[in-house]
Amino acid sequence: MTLLRISEAARFLGVSDDSVRRWVASGRLSAHTDATGRAAVDGVEVAHLVKDGNSTLNDSDDDGVPSSARNRFHGLVTDVVMDTVMAQVELQCGPFRVVSLMSAEAARELGLEPGMPAVAVVKATTVIVERMERTERTVRADG
Q: Answer for the pair 91, 76: CB distance below 8 angstroms, yes or no.
A: yes
Question: What are the tens digits of pLDDT across the range 50-95?
Answer: 776 654 443 344 556 677 777 888 888 999 999 999 999 998 887 7
Task: Give me the sheet containing 39-42, strands edge to edge.
Answer: 32-33, 39-42, 2-5, 139-140
Q: Is 106 in a helix, a strand, or coil?
A: helix
Question: What are the tens digits of pLDDT across the range 20-54?
Answer: 999 999 999 998 998 899 999 988 888 888 776 65
Tell me the residue length of the chain. 143
Q: Which residues pair with 96 in a beta bridge?
A: 93
